[in-house]
Amino acid sequence: MSRIIAHYRLRCPAAEVQARARAIAVEQSVEMPLEGIRAARVLAEIVGEVRAIEPLGEEQFRVSIGLASETVGGDPAQLLNMLFGNVSLLDWVTLEDATLPDELLAAFAGPRHGIAGLRARVGAPRRALACSALKPQGLPPAELADLAQELALGGLDYLKDDHGLADQAYSPFARRVPAIAHAVARASQLSGQPTAYVPSLSGSLDVMRQQVRIAREEGLTTLLIAPLTAGVATLAQLSSEHPEMAFLAHPSLGGAARLAPPLLFGRLFRLFGADATIFPNHGGRFGYSATTCRAVAQAARAPWAAVRPCLPVPAGGMTRARVTEMLEFYGPDCMLLIGGNLLAAAEGPRAAAAAFVAGLRAYRFQAASATLPAEPLP
Amino acid sequence: MSRIIAHYRLRCPAAEVQARARAIAVEQSVEMPLEGIRAARVLAEIVGEVRAIEPLGEEQFRVSIGLASETVGGDPAQLLNMLFGNVSLLDWVTLEDATLPDELLAAFAGPRHGIAGLRARVGAPRRALACSALKPQGLPPAELADLAQELALGGLDYLKDDHGLADQAYSPFARRVPAIAHAVARASQLSGQPTAYVPSLSGSLDVMRQQVRIAREEGLTTLLIAPLTAGVATLAQLSSEHPEMAFLAHPSLGGAARLAPPLLFGRLFRLFGADATIFPNHGGRFGYSATTCRAVAQAARAPWAAVRPCLPVPAGGMTRARVTEMLEFYGPDCMLLIGGNLLAAAEGPRAAAAAFVAGLRAYRFQAASATLPAEPLP
């Protein structure tokens, strides 16, 4: 039977690493003393196996554990559970990466549209994409619609709701989304650049379904979801029942567990159906390193069995001044997301959005240097 | 307008704490530069407010931020999002606690059954309850049913699925749960002690609904759910549409350090509808302190507006040898969960379960000392 290989980083004395590695292998599989297991099949095929232990520095080790693929049962939440459910409660363990066998990958649909689909929606087959965020929460629908129109007139490719825009009494989804969709459609006609408005889904799966229906009635084709607050199975379910819709994943709550960002925001969100994945870029409001960000982008878009590539969306305090540097770093297969910096610009959101878009479009990628190495994911 | 008060612990130089506190207040509310906000109402009522900054030690501060209740819109996932969504990505911030105004509490149902309901199901109005876990995953339904019967014959109050039992090909929910339910019902008749079998829900909300239907057809009335892998709104939705069912929350993916366990496993899971909450007891396989565990139990069961108390379920490597000490520590309003220690016992699971139950029932609580102080939650 095939095995997932989960790679953990352990912080512990060298004398304890063997025992701790075995403890994790048990914790993340049968979760009971092996002497209590009489079934030979369970001992041979289900109990986790320590595959490798490598020192990484003082009292730091990389431990690779083989976990039975068949324990996942094709469920995204159960995959998270098997990879990191109980050991998330141990403060000396982080989940660094996971190698998923093809048979397991085949149980998940991955992005339905991916990078190519997101480009096609806005008629931009090659260049990087420009995105902004609609905020602040607290505004009534008409004011959000006015602001959306201004931003869209700047020629953005995508305009997403702030993830704080939910279904609040002062701005209910059912009134807000049609108002903004109309405003953005109007702006797209005027600017000649199709801007795709991306509303944020919230609530239970049922509530999200109603929200998807409203979005579809407005002709929208891309939606924002935060898989960790919504539940990862909720993303997979919506993606499965609305194959015409593309999904942009938000990292909300993603740092609460010690789960490596490239694995969570790149690989797992991609596997569960995210067509694009937002993550904090280095040098912004969050402390991610350039190395981490490069790894997130690599995990999101590198070749990976039959799983379509997912568009990396670096964000979190980005500014127009950083457009060139970000394009150099990420290459053309990315979407830059600049929110507050446009909204607070002295020249107003429309002019700021236009300057952002102009900077992005003017950039010429160096053929050889701009893209990340596209090594397939293991 | 009412405010949630969220209490964060910041690790930063003293010279920076004011600015960082303000940054969190903005990040967790409007998420944009304030100079870009023209609406007076948003500035006055929606932007987060720094309410207090207290030093906690060297480069450690407790920062209290007021967040507008109306941003939550009655959605559990959005409450998590507002409390910790983006700042979860900052490694110098932990969420320590949150004070939720009554008007916000009223938007959530809390436990439908709570401690009293869980006691009533098993005819134990006053004493602590005894629970075990059915494992290992990997066994086929018939073998799990045999094992469940043995454990139930020991006279347990509750027998829950291991949270790794999902909907796997070797043991699908639809075959596993009826087989186990029958075995446990048979054992209950023989032992004279009603043992409630608690199957573990997995998959999307729709899949869980089918699973609830199967459980109900088998006469089961209590279900296990991991709110962080399922999505917290999934728990609230199931609890709302199945008010006859009690829900036992599992801490999978809960993380060790960044989101305080008393808040997450005690207060928030309770608010979203968990009738009982499992958490790692001190001195077991996980590194929680006694102080943390006491605080989890306090958050789960202390008086809290109209929210029913939730039963604390300390677990994670517990043994029969610790029953007395745990009862002394938690008092009678708890359920002790001992899994592997019964399954691996030399005398077999039935005799081990019986010894566990006998020890628990023999314990006599000291009237004054045994229960935690029942101060209401703020």
Mean pLDDT of successive 10-residue stretches along chain B, which has 378 residues:
93 96 96 92 96 96 97 94 92 91 91 94 92 95 96 95 95 98 97 95 97 98 95 95 95 80 92 94 90 95 93 94 96 94 92 94 72 67
- For residue A367, pLDDT over 80 is answered with no
Among candidates B81, B88, B167 on the partner chain, residue whose Cβ is nearest the Cβ of A163: B81
Closest residue in chain A to residue B36, using alpha carbons only? A344
* Cβ <8 Å between B339 and A204: no
- The answer to whether B240 touches B69, Cβ cutoff 8 Å, is no
- For residue A327, pLDDT over 60 is answered with yes
Start-end of CATH 3.30.70.150 domains in chain B: 3-105
- For residue A83, pLDDT over 90 is answered with yes
* Cβ <8 Å between A68 and B251: no
Shortest alpha-carbon distance between residue A82 and chain B (Å): 7
- Residue A372: the pLDDT is 55
- Residue A95: the pLDDT is 92
- Residue B181: the pLDDT is 98
Q: How far apart are CA B110 and CA A163, in angstroms?
A: 25
Q: In the 8-state DSSP scheme, what is residue B22?
A: H
Q: In the 8-state DSSP scheme, what is residue B88?
A: G
- Residue B374: the pLDDT is 64
Start-end of CATH 3.20.20.110 domains in chain A: 114-362
Confidence of residue A255 (pLDDT cuts 50, 70, 90): confident
- Residue A186: the pLDDT is 97
Confidence of residue A210 (pLDDT cuts 50, 70, 90): very high
- For residue A319, pLDDT over 80 is answered with yes
Among candidates B42, B229, B345 on the partner chain, residue whose Cβ is nearest the Cβ of A138: B42
Query: A13 preceded by cis ω (within 30°)?
Result: no
SS3 breakdown of chain A: % helix, strand, coil, rounded to 5?
45, 20, 40
Chain B residue numbers touching A236 (CB-CB < 8 A):
204
Q: How far apart are CA B47 and CA A156, in angstroms?
A: 27
Q: How far apart are CA A34 and CA A151, in angstroms?
A: 60
Q: How far apart are CA A28 and CA B200, in angstroms?
A: 16
Q: How far apart are CA B75 and CA A234, in angstroms?
A: 15
Q: How far apart are CA B264 and CA B250, in angstroms?
A: 11
- Which CATH number applies to B114-362: 3.20.20.110, 3.40.50.620, 2.40.160.40, 3.40.50.261? 3.20.20.110
| Residue A290 one-letter amino acid | A
Closest residue in chain B to residue A231, using alpha carbons only? B231
- Residue A114: the pLDDT is 92
Chain A residue numbers touching B209 (CB-CB < 8 A):
none
User: Which of B144, B229, B279 is the best substitution to test chain A (most A C-beta atoms within 10 A)?
Assistant: B229
Average pLDDT, chain A: 93
Shortest alpha-carbon distance between residue A140 and chain B (Å): 10
For residues A102-116, average pLDDT: 92
The b/e string for B259-286 (b: 16+ C-beta within 10 A; e otherwise) is bbbbbbbbbbbbbbbbbbbbbbbbbbbb
User: Which of B1, B80, B81, B104 is the best substitution to test chain A (most A C-beta atoms within 10 A)?
Assistant: B81
Chain B residue numbers touching A233 (CB-CB < 8 A):
203-205, 207, 229-231
Among candidates A72, A231, A344 on the partner chain, residue whose Cβ is nearest the Cβ of B230: A231
Q: How far apart are CA A350 and CA A345, in angstroms?
A: 9
- Residue A370: the pLDDT is 46
User: Taking the domain A3-105, which CATH number applies?
Assistant: 3.30.70.150
- The answer to whether B128 touches B322, Cβ cutoff 8 Å, is no
Shortest alpha-carbon distance between residue A78 and chain B (Å): 7
Q: How far apart are CA B208 and CA A73, in angstroms?
A: 14
Q: In the 8-state DSSP scheme, what is residue A34?
A: G
pTM: 0.92
Chain B residue numbers touching A86 (CB-CB < 8 A):
163, 252
- The neighbour count for residue A325, using CB atoms within 10 Å, is 10
Nearest to A229, CA basis, from A207, A260, A262: A207
